[in-house]
A and B are shown apart, each in its own frame.
Chain A
C-alpha cells in the first residue's frame, strides 16, 4: 500500500475574497462575486461583467500578485520548509500581453515578455517556496490545475519528492478575451443582472462567467507531515483523467470523458461510488457542460449530492480545479456541503441531486471535477483527516 498523502496547506484569492476563510465564508453564504467589469471600460462590449479578483492590476502583474498571496497563505498554513525535496506543479496558461502594449511605442522589456510565459508563475512559486525539486507546468485549459494536483500526487507516491506546492492561477478579465469568448458563444450575456449570470444546472443558464483567481495547496507524504508535526487538513486520495476525443468545442452528450475521469479517480482511491458524499461539479453554467457532466454523474453515482460553486465566483479557468479542490478540503473539515447560487429552476435534463443551500453533512470522501476546452478531464478525491 502506498503512503497516504496529506494536505497541510491551503491558500486562495478568488472573486469572493482574499484568503481561504474569506472565500469559504462567502461560498457558504452563497454570496455573489460577479459584477460589472472594472479592469477596463466594457461599455459597448457584448458582455460587461466578470468575476474579478479583489486586487488591482492586469496581465502578468495581476497573476503574479494573485500567486504570491495564495502561495504565501498556503506556505504559512503548512509551515513547510524549503528544500530540494519540495517540488512545484502549476496549472497555468500563457498570459495575454497587456492591452496597452498594442499601441505602446516602447518595446516591453525581456522580463515583461518572459513574464507572459505559461511557466512564469511556476518559477515564481518555486522561488516563493524555496522549492528546488522538480517543477512542471500543466496547460490543459480549464483542467490545468486539477491535473497539476494529480501530477503532484503521482510525484509524491513515486517518492520523487516529500512535498509539493501545487495549484493554479488565471486572470482573463481582459478586452480581447471577453470579445473572443463571447464570439464563441460561451459567455453569459446577462448584462442586466450579472449577479444572476452564473447559474450552473439551472434551466435558464446561458453561458459561463470569466473569472480571476489563484488557489494553492501543500500536499506531502504522511510520514513527512507527521515527522514535522503538521496539521493534516485532509487526505488527497484519488486522481483520474481522460480525454473526450470528441470535438474541440463540444462535450459528448453521454458524458463519457467525464465518466472515465471520475471512474479512474475512484479506482485510484480504492473507493466505490457510494463512498462519495459530495461532488463539487465543474458546472460551468453552459448548456453543454452541465448536461454532459450531470449525465456522467448520474451514470456513475446514485443520487450523490452535487453543487457547483461557480454560481458564486464564476469560472476561474486554469485556477478552478485547485480552488474547487480547496473548497472540498474545507467541506470535509467543516462537514458541510456548499450550495448552489442562482439555482432557481433546476434543468430537468440534468439528472443530478443538486444541493440548493449549504447543508451540514457527514462527509468522508468528496470528489471534484474539472473539464477543459479540447476535452481534457480531471477528477480529484479527498478524504476526511
Chain B
C-alpha cells in the first residue's frame, strides 16, 4: 500500500524548475529549493549533492504520513551516475595549469589547497540515501542501486520484497537524479544523448507491497532525462 508520495519534478523542460504540486495533503508542494524545513543541521547543506537536495523535500513530504518507529523503517533509493566533480573542483584545476596542461606536481601543492575537502563525499552515489536516512533517523534495511530506469524499478521491487518478508515494518522508496550541471551536460553530449537533461526526485512511503504504477504518460517525455526517477513517474498520478 502506498501511504504517501512526495515529489520534486521539472516543470516541462525547464532545468531548474518551479516545483510541481502533487495535489493533496500527502503529496504536497515544495516551494523552491529552500531546504530549511528539511535539514536538521543547516551546515549539512554544504555536503549535499544536487540529487540529495532534491531528495530531501520529496522524502520529507512522504515521511509526513509516517507515524511509526523510524529505526524499523527501510529505505531503498535509486540513483544515476555519480555527478562529475570537475565543476566543483574548478578552482583547483585552474591552479594546476602549467604551460597549457595540468601539472600533477601542482595538484599536490596549489591545487590541493584549493580542492574542496568535502567533494569526495558529495559525489558518492549513496549520499542521497545517507542524507535522507540521517534527516529522518531511518536505521533499517537499505539499498542504493545505481543505473537508469531499471534501478528505479529494482528499488521498488526490493522494498516490496523487504515488506513481504517482514524485514522492515514500512519502507521509504524513491529515486533522485540530476543531470543539469555543465559537466553532466558534457558527458551527455559525449554519450550522444541529444534529449534535454532533467532532474527530480520522487519518494513514496510503503506500508505493504504494492505494484509500481505505470509511468504517468502526462509527464513521461516532458520532463527531460530523469534517469531512475522516470520509472517512478506513475506515482504522480497515484498521488493525485
Least CB distance from A199 to B in Å reads 22
User: Counting CB contacts under 8 A, is B145 at the interface?
Assistant: yes
User: Counting CB contacts under 8 A, is B130 at the interface?
Assistant: yes
User: Counting CB contacts under 8 A, is B222 at the interface?
Assistant: no
Find out whether the CB atom of A376 lies under 8 angstroms from the CB atom of B126.
yes
Find out whether the CB atom of B151 lies under 8 angstroms from the CB atom of A136.
yes
- Contact partner, B111, options A137, A179, A257, Cβ 8 Å: A179
User: Counting CB contacts under 8 A, is B121 at the interface?
Assistant: yes
Least CB distance from B165 to A in Å reads 8
User: Counting CB contacts under 8 A, is A348 at the interface?
Assistant: no
Instruction: Please name 27 pairs of A and B residues whose Cβ atoms are closer than 8 Å in the assembled complex, sorted by A.
Output: A44-B105, A102-B93, A102-B102, A109-B190, A114-B191, A117-B146, A117-B147, A118-B81, A137-B147, A138-B145, A176-B85, A180-B115, A181-B120, A183-B115, A241-B141, A241-B143, A242-B141, A243-B133, A243-B138, A245-B139, A248-B127, A248-B131, A249-B121, A256-B139, A373-B130, A375-B134, A376-B129
Contacts of B138 in A (CB 8 A): 243, 245
Find out whether the CB atom of A372 lies under 8 angstroms from the CB atom of B126.
yes
User: Counting CB contacts under 8 A, is A244 at the interface?
Assistant: yes
Find out whether the CB atom of A102 lies under 8 angstroms from the CB atom of B86.
yes
User: Counting CB contacts under 8 A, is B223 at the interface?
Assistant: no
- Contact partner, B143, options A44, A151, A244, A375, Cβ 8 Å: A151
Give B103-136 interface residues, CB cut-off 8 Å to A. 104-105, 107-109, 111-112, 115-121, 124-127, 129-131, 133-134, 136
Find out whether the CB atom of A139 lies under 8 angstroms from the CB atom of B137.
no
Find out whether the CB atom of B119 lies under 8 angstroms from the CB atom of A180.
yes
Find out whether the CB atom of B140 lies under 8 angstroms from the CB atom of A94.
no
Give B179-209 interface residues, CB cut-off 8 Å to A. 187, 190-192
Give A176-218 interface residues, CB cut-off 8 Å to B. 176-177, 179-184
Contacts of A241 in B (CB 8 A): 141-143
Least CB distance from B119 to A in Å reads 6
User: Counting CB contacts under 8 A, is B84 at the interface?
Assistant: yes
- Contact partner, B133, options A44, A103, A109, A375, Cβ 8 Å: A375
How many A residues face the partner with a CB closer than 8 A?
62
User: Counting CB contacts under 8 A, is A227 at the interface?
Assistant: no
Binds B, one of A35-43, A279-287, A350-358, A362-370: A35-43
How many B residues face the partner with a CB closer than 8 A?
62
Find out whether the CB atom of B117 lies under 8 angstroms from the CB atom of A183.
yes
User: Counting CB contacts under 8 A, is A81 at the interface?
Assistant: no
- Contact partner, B108, options A45, A92, A372, Cβ 8 Å: A45
Find out whether the CB atom of B146 lies under 8 angstroms from the CB atom of A118.
yes
Give A100-138 interface residues, CB cut-off 8 Å to B. 102-103, 107-110, 112-114, 116-119, 136-138
* A93-B125 in contact given A245-B134, A375-B130 (Cβ < 8 Å): yes
Find out whether the CB atom of B161 lies under 8 angstroms from the CB atom of A154.
yes
Contacts of B70 in A (CB 8 A): 245
User: Counting CB contacts under 8 A, is A374 at the interface?
Assistant: yes
Find out whether the CB atom of A243 lies under 8 angstroms from the CB atom of B140.
yes
Find out whether the CB atom of A117 lies under 8 angstroms from the CB atom of B81.
yes
Which of A138, A256, A375 has the most chain B CB atoms closer than 10 A to its own CB? Answer: A375
Find out whether the CB atom of B144 lies under 8 angstroms from the CB atom of A139.
yes
* A103-B102 in contact given A43-B108, A114-B191, A242-B139 (Cβ < 8 Å): yes
* A107-B104 in contact given A151-B158, A176-B85 (Cβ < 8 Å): no
Q: In the complex, A93→B123 CA distance in Å?
A: 10
Contacts of B108 in A (CB 8 A): 42-46, 179
Find out whether the CB atom of B139 lies under 8 angstroms from the CB atom of A244.
yes
Q: In the complex, A254→B82 CA distance in Å?
A: 31
Contacts of A244 in B (CB 8 A): 133, 139
Find out whether the CB atom of A184 lies under 8 angstroms from the CB atom of B120.
yes
User: Counting CB contacts under 8 A, is B75 at the interface?
Assistant: yes
Contacts of A373 in B (CB 8 A): 121, 124, 126, 130
Find out whether the CB atom of A43 lies under 8 angstroms from the CB atom of B105.
yes
